[in-house]
Amino acid sequence: MKKIVLLSLIFFTLITGGCKKALDINSTRVVNEANSWNNLEDSRAKLLGVYGLTRAALADNNGHWIYGDVRMGNFESPLRQDLKAIIKNDLKAEYEVVKDLSNWTRFYRIVNAANIFLERIHEVKEKDPRYTENNMNVDVAQIRFLRAFAYFYMVRIWGDVPFITSSRDGSFENVKRSDHNAILEFVQAEMLAAAEVLPYRFSMNDIQQPGQYYNESDSRWNGTLVRKLSAYGVLAQVAAWQGKYADVTVYTKKVLDEFPRAAMGYSTTDYLTNRRGIFFDKNNNQLFAFGFIFGHQDATFVGNIESLTLAEPIVNKNLPDIFVPKDSILSIFKEPNDGRFNIDSTGVTHSQLYFTNFLGKYPIFSKIKCMQDGSSDPTFRIFSSAILFTRLEDIALLRAEALAVLGEKQGAIEVLNVVRSFRYNVDNAGAVIGSYVPYSSERSGSLINAIFNERNKEFMGEGYRWFDLVRYNKIVQRDPKFTELINTGGIYWPVAQALIDQNPELVQNSYWK
Amino acid sequence: MRFIANITFLGLLCSSTCSFGNAARSACNSDVSSFKMSFQKQTDSTEEDSAKLKVDTTRFQPKSKRTVFSALESKGDNVDPKKLAIFPAFTLQQYLKGEAAGLYVQESSGEPGTVQNMFIRGTSQPLVSPREQFATQPLVVLDGIPLVGEHPFAYDIQQYKFDRIGPATNSLSNINMDNIESVQILRDLGSTSIYGPKGANGVIVLTSKRNSTVRKINFESYIGVATPSPVTTVNGKFENTFRRQFYDKYTANGSYSDIDTYPLYLSDSLNNDFYGPADWNDLYYKNALSYSVNAGISGGSERANFRFGVGTTTSGGVGDGTGADRYTTRFQINMRPTDWMSFTAIINANRVDRQRNRNVRDRLSQVNYIPDLSSPIAPNSAKYGNYLNQFDNGFDNNRSNIVEGLVKVGVDLGGFKFNSVFGVDNNEGYRDIFYPRTLLQTTNYASNYYGFSRRVMFDNTATYDLKLNDVHSFNFAVGSSFQYDTYKYNYAYAYKGANDFVKLNLLESDPNKGSYLEPFVFKRELVWKFLDKTRNNMISFTGKASYNYKEVYTFSAMLRADASSNQQPTNRWFYSPIFSANWDMKKDFLDKNDFISDLNLRASFGRMGRAEAFDNYAQGPQYTAFIGFTGNLIAPGYNGFGTLTRPYSAGAVPYGLEWAYQDQLNVGVDFAFLKNRIRASVDVYSKEDKNQLLGVPGAAEYGYNTIIKNGMSIANSGIDAAISADILPSTNKVSWTSSLNLNFNKNKLKALPGGLSELVIGDRLLKVGESVDSYWLLTNQGIFNTDAEVPVAANGEKMSYNAITLKAGDPRWKDLNGDNVISNKDKTLMGHALPVVSGGFNNDFGYKNWTLSVNMYFNLGRDLMNQEMANRFDFVNREGLNNINSVREVTYWEKRGDYSKYPLYNPWSSSAPYQVNQDLFLEDASFLKLRTLSLGYDLTQMMKKKMPKLERFYVYASVHNLFTLTKYTGQDPELVNYTGYDTGYGMQIPRTYMLGVKMDF
């Protein structure tokens, strides 16, 4: 009897000893700080995390295209009331998508993740000898670029935004909105600094990134990361948005002079609209892009232009969410010999790579259609097109725009013609011919109009239109309504009420008060 | 501790005196027949537990089997399983609905075997998602095993969170009431304290029937038919006429704008599919069979005995071919190798198969892909039948194995007793799906799920009795408890298989091939795989001392130390005291009083920790792999590499999170008058769940949706009352017992983290001083018929909704703050999603061998949002989106609700005139149901002549769910989940006609 009592008491003590062990469980669902900044794999996960967050921020609710193409753009929506409101610039309408797109939280994820990375990456450097100085420098440059990019994107949408460059972990104080001009100065400086450090390509023994980047070959990295010219390309956009056209010429020159080093080229119209063309997968021609790579199971049902624009007969969906009405198409694509789309006065279409079912009630905008692995199977609406933020044609046309604004007309026409040479080169049957139709003011109107019309045609469905409209109307102040929008801050989105509710330092954009 | 308790219980049972262990035990030991009982009790931990607390805190135990409080408790704390077993329930929740004061059961669908919710004394959290639902469920203890629930962590990968992935079978489908000896609903801390933090939401204790030492056989069976209630079906014409009103009123030429289209399926009135007969209901609603057969055998000797039971139950749903089957087996063995030691082993194994509904919404949320939804399923039986036939080419198998095992060793060394329990509850589920191409726009789909919830527990208790003399007696107990919970699932799904004949996601099995283990029937890139696991360990130590004075006063004090792996290391342990006391006034000074046959006052107060259910809170600042976005939660990585980022969407987890805890005060009185003819038990409680975690919206400029903080405090206070009266006592030829149980509960938010006074979470406002189950709504006051009616403010601006100027056809919402802008500031908190008063009213009549029972169930002060009607009127927005909310089921063709109640607003207006969050859609959903009417005849006496061994032979016929009285205009007001938004997805709870028999011999 006594034995039993004794034994049970011993048993008790043994179990008690195991307590601490039983209670310390390393979660298999999250990683805590102690296990976070120790080795090369950690830095890769954190680096690509910032990319992933950027992709998520742009793809969320198809925001990149709704901001850029849907708002007061060429598109109409047959059924979606939320998109109709955005098309009308009715940005306080009571729709979930409108509210979500007014919320900048997802961009601050990029900023916060970048800030943490910049503060903590030295720990990996100290702990893991495999993590080289160069690797760290290149990583840091990318992170600084992505943080600047997030700010650039936000400033374009909301104007003044809170400016935060440290993680302030654990003490998240509310911050006022800062002047957007100051932020853009920061953006420009950061991107420039990054551009100087970044290589032309990864894992190609670039002098600024020798050896295999994270032990993967160039085919793994092609087009997926920020490269030197990506930085200069985005810098050109930043400078153009600020109206610093002299800077635009500097940055664009850098890209246009050096793009062969980055294994890039201009896209033919066919490559532009091919299911396996520039938008598909990852490739070097994507100057700055976020891929949804089919082979990596990244393909998605939403977060791409296709989910908005495609419908019967391209995919098995009854009506598209958005479409370009026939009248708009006719007024935009007026020039003959355009490989993207052209129609003559008798109503005969000679080329229609951009649109399908033009004669139907809803022409389908089918320029971008990366379905599954680039197949033509209409039965499954999963898409793998990258969010392409900028490409060579954008840089060329920005240069043309800058030169035109600065009065270097001839230079502008030259660059414009480079782009035109790839587009206005089809015959009446839509077949590519050896020659092209260069710019002339009789055919295409004034130079600045021609450049912006070209942009409208070239980048339709790529999230550019709204920002181009703003720049255009800043240059050519002919539309009093739009000028009024610019002057009153109506070009910005309202700040989501949810944000103002939780941060008393915030003030709504005056136009949306 | 348990040991002593059960001994005490025994003592109570076998002697007429009520006291602590020693006396009772000796009494028992002196009597062989009672020792059998003692043995049984001793090996049945649940009953011990409950018995102990009865003795220690309330001393509520009957002095003999027939005294007042055993009868009383059946309406209050205790529920009579014999009566419950009459109901053809499949789940525990169904058995207990309306049967016990303070326990509120939600049966949000009549689909058999689906998840249902229980709340004891209100909710301690705002119920917005399955997380809170999980965190507020009471603990169910079966024969001493605290049953494990299904952890909601799997929802994290689900785009659409209607049902959890996997079989989503109610894990409390494993209870066969015919096997159950007693059911107790424990509500106050005095009685729940021994179950620790997991019992903070209340405890339901189930104890199986005891073994017998003589051979005994029991047999129970019923068969019943469930019949659907008639519905009014409509076709395209109805919908067309309904919509035309809006076009006539708000459009010039029948189309709102040039690019607008009228839905194809309504445009052609000659289309027989939509404009023909609406007879889909013939295929959808059908009579369903429910039956059950259950048998058990028990026998053995005093030293060793056993009980073995098997059973099967089928529950048919009347809608959509749903149903559930259960196969049960249970084995219990007791042994007493020596006088001072006992041994018990129990195995309870259940297999549950479920035939699920074929809702489009549920299927698409499983498939995670939205096909073109522009046309709904046609209301025509030929078309609908065609659609249903497609399911025959696929499968949707849902299986659950729910197994509990228990081993217990008891040692009795006189004053010192030791009890050790080892238990396992393993609840595993499988779901295998194949949907053929014809169901999803030529894309087929396969999915496999395997998951389990497992709890391994090890409890030890040691007790010591000290009886100084007849006046003073003491009891001391120490205990330890270890619980290891593991939740895990493996899940994969795939699209676009090669054809509809190979229905499995086959993998390459040749290890020499490069594509080894890669799928080859389905495209590799279109196969998604998930593995997830979470664990939670909990360790508790307890100490308790009780004192009894002359059996009149009892005091008890308990001290607990609880540690959970889900709490941060710096705050891992939580220490809490619980006190309880009891005063038997009848014994003290009313001994001679004839009018008062019993009067007992008891009170308990104390504190109990509430451990978190998710392990991320223990980790402090952390990183997750989540980089998804709206519509794509499962982004696997970037460029094929996994990523780690802060938990931006889940919320920032800081260091220093503390335990949440509950403080509860309970004062109860039990009394009986007129020789126990009137019995009542009334408890008044005040319960406050303090310092709870809440994701406070904030740090948006640091990327977070919320910051997790301590500090939410929610109080529930109210009254549980059970009153029972023998209006005609059973000694009469005609007897009539009437009993009422009800709970009145008032819920109040007492504090928010960081001293905030209010907080908006989604559509809900949490406001200190208001209840957390209230809706936050605009007040609707009609319609602006013309633009001129829209009020103009002093600054010349017209009234607007947010920044949208209101026009003719927009709703007239009440501008509470008078700023001429309708916004969230004009919303008020209204109504309650959980009832203010709920309960049951039961009447039992007896005449000779006949018995007639009438059971009613009621909810008062409960309100619902009629989302289904809001959706109907908001057709413009819902059809435009082609998302999961635009799904229309075949029940779309059922006329529900009162269309005349709602003004004809301009549905195209961007002010969202038919948004659900306005009082236009708020309805009083109080109801009274006649839940059971049963007529039984006891044949025992008659049959005994032929079968002398017969103990009981009872036959009965019953009808369930006879009628519902309610003002609610939608479906049955019960068919709504904890959020209170009636989406119309609840399937009818059918009326069931039954015949049954129960035999013991």
Residues of B in contact with A497 (CB under 8 A): 802, 823-824
Element (H, E) at A141: helix A133-158
Q: Mind telling me how many Å the CA of A501 is from chain B's nearest CA?
A: 9
Residues of A in contact with B131 (CB under 8 A): none
| Region of poorest pLDDT, from B258-262, B291-295, B619-623, B690-694 | B258-262
Q: What is the dihedral of CA A467, A472, A478, A480, to 10 degrees?
A: 20
Element (H, E) at B584: strand B573-584
pLDDT for residue A2? 57
pLDDT for residue B43? 30
User: Is the Cβ pair A48, B655 closer than 8 Å?
Assistant: no
Residues of A in contact with B623 (CB under 8 A): 30-31, 36, 45-46, 49
**Secondary structure (DSSP) of B370-404:** ----SS---S-HHHHHHHHHHHTTSEEEEEEEEEE
Choose from B481, B641, B778, B825 for mutation: most chain A CBs within 10 A. B641
* pLDDT 10s digits, B49-66: 333 333 222 222 223 332
Query: Measured between alpha carbons, how far is A290 from B19 in angstroms, rounded to an integer?
Result: 76
Numbers of helices and strands, H then E, in chain B: 19, 41
Query: Measured between alpha carbons, how far is A338 from A329 in angstroms, rounded to an integer?
Result: 13
- Does pLDDT of B3 surpass 70? no
- Does pLDDT of B24 surpass 50? no
Tell how strand B117-120 and strand A355-356 pair up.
Answer: unpaired
Question: Which of A1, A31, A282 comes nearest B413 by C-beta?
Answer: A1
Query: Measured between alpha carbons, how far is A444 from A332 in angstroms, rounded to an integer?
Result: 11
Q: Mind telling me how many Å the CA of A420 is from chain B's nearest CA?
A: 33
User: Is the Cβ pair A36, B563 closer than 8 Å?
Assistant: no
CA angle (B248 as vertex; B245, B252 as ends), nearest 5 = 155
- Does pLDDT of B673 surpass 60? yes
- With CA atoms as reference, report the closest residue to B731 among B676, B797, B656: B676
Question: Which of B563, B645, B804 comes nearest A93 by C-beta?
Answer: B804
SS3 category, A369: coil
* pLDDT 10s digits, B25-53: 333 333 222 222 222 323 333 333 333 33
pLDDT for residue A8? 62
Residues of A in contact with B823 (CB under 8 A): 497
Check CB contact of B267 with chain A, cutoff 8 Å. Answer: no
Question: Which of B528, B635, B912 comes nearest A94 by C-beta?
Answer: B912
Q: Mind telling me how many Å the CA of B43 is from chain A's nearest CA?
A: 19
CA of B758: how far to CAs of A486, B749, B755, B761, B764, in Å?
Answer: 37, 10, 9, 10, 10
Q: Mind telling me how many Å the CA of A279 is from chain B's nearest CA?
A: 15
Element (H, E) at B577: strand B573-584
pLDDT for residue B72? 28
Choose from A6, A7, A12, A25 for mutation: most chain B CBs within 10 A. A25
Question: Which of A24, A30, A300 comes nearest B647 by C-beta?
Answer: A30
Q: Which residue of A has its CA nearest to B153?
A: A29
pLDDT for residue A64? 96
* pLDDT 10s digits, B755-797: 999 988 888 999 999 999 999 999 999 999 999 999 998 888 8
Residues of B in contact with A101 (CB under 8 A): none
CB pairs under 8 A between A and B: 312
N-to-C CA span, chain B: 35
Question: Which of A50, A52, A79 comes nearest B635 by C-beta?
Answer: A52
- Does pLDDT of B7 surpass 80? no
Arithmetic mean of pLDDT, A307-324 = 91
Arithmetic mean of pLDDT, B873-888 = 85
Number of Cβ within 10 Å of residue A131's Cβ equals: 22
Strands (E), A117-158: none
pLDDT for residue A465? 95
User: Is the Cβ pair A29, B624 closer than 8 Å?
Assistant: yes
* pLDDT 10s digits, B791-841: 998 888 899 888 788 999 999 999 998 888 898 889 999 999 999 999 999
Q: In terms of pLDDT, which residue wins out, B263 or B839?
A: B839
Task: For chain B, positions 624-683, list CB contacts with chain A under 8 A.
Answer: 624, 627-632, 635-648, 652, 654-655
- How does residue B214 score in pLDDT terms, banded at 50, 70 and 90? confident
Residues of B in contact with A103 (CB under 8 A): 700
* pLDDT 10s digits, B572-600: 999 999 999 888 888 888 888 888 888 88
User: Is the Cβ pair B482, A36 closer than 8 Å?
Assistant: no
Strands (E), B356-506: 395-413, 416-435, 445-467, 472-495
Q: Mind telling me how many Å the CA of A366 is from chain B's nearest CA?
A: 18
Choose from B645, B821, B876, B882 for mutation: most chain A CBs within 10 A. B645
CA of B447: how far to CAs of A151, A300, A383, B167, B358, in Å?
Answer: 42, 18, 21, 12, 16
Tokens matching residue B332: 């219990």
Check CB contact of B337 with chain A, cutoff 8 Å. Answer: no
Arithmetic mean of pLDDT, A347-351 = 80
Question: Which of A25, A294, A316 comes nearest B535 by C-beta?
Answer: A25
The phi and psi torsions of A406 (rounded to 5 degrees) equal -80, 0
Question: Which of A8, A61, A169 comes nearest B630 by C-beta?
Answer: A61
pTM: 0.89
- Please give the share of chain A, as a percent, with pLDDT higher than 70: 96
- Please give the share of chain B, as a percent, with pLDDT higher than 90: 55
Query: Measured between alpha carbons, how far is B770 from B289 in angstroms, rounded to an integer?
Result: 46
- Identify whether A378 is preceded by a cis peptide bond (ω within 30 of 0): no
SS3 category, B512: coil
- With CA atoms as reference, report the closest residue to B866 among B988, B975, B981: B981
- Does pLDDT of B332 surpass 50? yes
Arithmetic mean of pLDDT, B495-504 = 84
Number of Cβ within 10 Å of residue A441's Cβ equals: 11
Domains of chain A: 1-190+497-513 (1.25.40.390), 390-488 (no CATH)
- Does pLDDT of B76 surpass 70? no
Arithmetic mean of pLDDT, A118-129 = 95
Arithmetic mean of pLDDT, B379-399 = 92
- How does residue B16 score in pLDDT terms, banded at 50, 70 and 90? very low
Residues of B in contact with A224 (CB under 8 A): 638-639
Check CB contact of B159 with chain A, cutoff 8 Å. Answer: no
The phi and psi torsions of A29 (rounded to 5 degrees) equal -110, -25
| Region of poorest pLDDT, from B391-400, B498-507, B861-870 | B498-507
User: Is the Cβ pair A79, B624 closer than 8 Å?
Assistant: no
pLDDT for residue B254? 65
Residues of B in contact with A504 (CB under 8 A): none
Check CB contact of B1001 with chain A, cutoff 8 Å. Answer: no
Q: Report the mean per-residue pLDDT for chain B.
A: 86
Q: Mind telling me how many Å the CA of B886 is from chain A's nearest CA?
A: 12
Bridge partners, A162 (sequence order): A177
Residues of A in contact with B537 (CB under 8 A): 22-23, 25
Q: Mind telling me how many Å the CA of B482 is from chain A's nearest CA?
A: 9
Residues of A in contact with B438 (CB under 8 A): none
Q: Mind telling me how many Å the CA of A379 is from chain B's nearest CA?
A: 6
Arithmetic mean of pLDDT, A287-304 = 93
Give Cα B475 distance to the centre of its chain.
Answer: 36
Q: What is the ipTM of this complex?
A: 0.93
> What's the helix, strand, coil split of chain A in %, to 5?
50, 5, 40
Query: Measured between alpha carbons, how far is B896 from B231 in angstroms, rounded to an integer?
Result: 9
Tell how strand B821-822 and strand B800-801 pair up.
Answer: parallel
- Does pLDDT of A366 surpass 90? yes
Residues of A in contact with B631 (CB under 8 A): 61, 300-303
- How does residue A464 score in pLDDT terms, banded at 50, 70 and 90? very high
B121 Ramachandran zone, left/alpha/beta (phi>0; psi -120 to 50)? left
